[in-house]
Amino acid sequence: MKMKLLALTFLFQTYGQSLGQNGSRPNIVMVMTDAFDGRLTFDPGSKVVKLPYVNYLRELGTTFLNAYTNSPICCPSRAAMWSGQFVHLTQSWNNYKCLSANATTWMDLLEANGYLTKMMGKLDYTSGSHSVSNRIEAWTRDVQFLLRQEGRPVTQLVGDMSTVRIMRKDWENTDKAAQWIHQRAASSQQPFALYLGLNLPHPYKTEPLGPTAGGSTFLTSPYWLKKAFSYVSSELITLPKWLPMAAMHPVDYYSTFTKNCSGDFTEEDVRSIRAFYYAMCAEADAMLGQVISALRETGLLNNTVVIFTADHGELAMEHRQFYKMSMFEGSSHVPLLIMGPGLTSGLQVNQLASLVDLYPTVLDFAGVSAAGSVSGHSLVPLLSKARAFSKKPDWVLSEYHGCNVNASTYMLRRGRWKYIAYADGQSVPPQLFDITLDKDELHNVVLKFPDVQARLDKLLRSIVDYPRVSTIVHLYNKQSFADWQNSLGTNYSQVIANLRWHVDWQKDALANERAIDKWLYGFL
């Protein structure tokens, strides 16, 4: 497919270059962070932490107040963004199973239509990446015992007031992006498209647990703690309300346990994790600022569409969890800000949006037709106060099939309601939250509003046959694990015992292996 697209480059090149020269096609820059809570980009969340460059985009562009990931985990969410298709269509089931290397992205289409293109930093949307542990835990989530996947979330302070560059890899990529703008984009006769993927504010690996440790360390310096809260009182860092463990939905209970968050946490522990996370967001904001500054310094900003977003959010101890992999707002709500020539300043859009919408939106800005059918809809008609007609539906879909959750999960957000269905729709009870009245998502009202549940479930099934998809994922998990197990031969027991499994894996190795065999083959 890519070869066909690149073959079109010659046909469009002269036309594309002439448009780039007279400025009729804008440049496009996207900065995608990892694990950035979208609620921090508008009030009241924006009052918690100082994010000057996010605020710059907010004041001069458009903020989407209800933007969601299509899957609250790295690779599947990015696969949705790059392909414009829902997760069940791309079959991006976990961080190991996503798009093929030759899948067509919107960047491919821009290049085929005369754009100078560059992709830097974290891409993470093709199959085959991430650790053995990550994919094994995704494949075996249906085994009937609990797994402690992650290291307990902790904070770590490094350096002093002069320590600015904590996430060095991100800073290196940001430097390269700014350099590319100065040296390559500024001299180009073509319109350009630049993508910069950041790791921040994703938590760091807890090194003492070894190379397979999960992302569980919230790490920053005194510089960023002061910078983040220089004009904001740290007292605004709220302590999230938790349900008792016994009152949790069974899937949320499983997630809390496997994320190693079922133990005791003091108020100081929780407040510290949240403060450090916000400081990490402030560091990511500074990287966004460096890109914006490079565009301004080269005189390119006035003809450039700048998009800021994230693959998913971060719970930061909301619902007694950290990380993502949940449909709660902290995990599923992403930032989406768009600024560009001719777009309305200071606009806030309430209409629901999700990452699949970025594919047709970017192509719409460039005047390029999408290749084949896509799940998303262009947001361009919503980017002015005039609000041109949009075919965009009034709902968004997110789904999750990976580790730390023991059932395929489907979230439908429509109006005030968030409906979450699991597995086959019968074996695991659904959840229904009134986001308007219950911003903390502590009150599952599915039994109180059966008519709403029935209506939303009917709509969800019209979008995706989720019981069928759940079955497909289940069979994929079994086959993938069996193939991996067979590939190890006699080394299987040793390899699996050294993964981050149940704390008593070594003690109960035989019992746990038998439990896996029962799940896999149906016998003891």
Q: Is the pLDDT of residue 386 over 80?
A: no
End-to-end CA distance of the chain: 47
464-495 pLDDT per residue, tens = 999 999 999 999 999 999 999 999 998 888 78
Of residues 373 and 451, more confidence is placed in: 451
The closest alpha carbon to 124, from 85, 160, 165, 92, belongs to 92
Choosing from 74, 75, 261, 403, the catalytic residue is: 74
Has residue 405 been placed in a domain?
A: no
Has residue 358 been placed in a domain?
A: yes
Confidence at residue 7, expressed as pLDDT on a 0 to 100 scale: 41
Tell me the average pLDDT across 308-326: 97
Q: Is the pLDDT of residue 17 over 50?
A: no
Q: Six-digit token pair at 127?
A: 């199959």
Has residue 195 been placed in a domain?
A: yes
In angstroms, the CA 364 to CA 370 distance is 9
Confidence at residue 371, expressed as pLDDT on a 0 to 100 scale: 77
In angstroms, the CA 356 to CA 334 distance is 12
Q: Is the pLDDT of residue 328 over 90?
A: yes
Q: Is the pLDDT of residue 509 over 90?
A: no
In angstroms, the CA 270 to CA 317 distance is 6
207-251 pLDDT per residue, tens = 776 666 677 899 999 999 999 887 555 667 889 999 999 999 999
Tell me the average pLDDT across 33-40: 98
Boundaries of domain holding 66: 27-389
- Residue 346 parent element (H or E): none
Q: Six-digit token pair at 326?
A: 């949940």
Of residues 506 and 267, more confidence is placed in: 267
Count structural domains, the chain: 1
Q: Is the pLDDT of residue 10 over 70?
A: no
Q: Is the pLDDT of residue 506 over 70?
A: no
Instruction: Confirm whether 281 is a catalytic residue.
Output: no
Q: Is the pLDDT of residue 4 over 50?
A: no
What percent of the chain lies above the pLDDT cut of 90?
74
Amino acid at 368: V
Confidence at residue 262, expressed as pLDDT on a 0 to 100 scale: 92
Tell me which of 44-48, 104-108, 413-417, 433-437 is least confident. 44-48
Has residue 432 been placed in a domain?
A: no
- Whole-structure pTM value: 0.92
Mean pLDDT score of the chain: 89
DSSP count for the chain of H helices, then E strands: 17, 16
Q: Is the pLDDT of residue 187 over 70?
A: yes
347-370 pLDDT per residue, tens = 999 999 999 999 999 999 999 998
Has residue 481 been placed in a domain?
A: no
Q: Is the distance from CB of 38 to CB of 334 less than 8 angstroms?
A: yes
pLDDT band at 385 (very low <50, low <70, confident <90, very high): confident
CATH code for position 271: 3.40.720.10
Confidence at residue 147, expressed as pLDDT on a 0 to 100 scale: 64
pLDDT band at 133 (very low <50, low <70, confident <90, very high): confident
Has residue 429 been placed in a domain?
A: no
Has residue 383 been placed in a domain?
A: yes
In angstroms, the Cα distances linking 518 to 142, 143, 148, 513 are 11, 9, 20, 9
Has residue 87 been placed in a domain?
A: yes
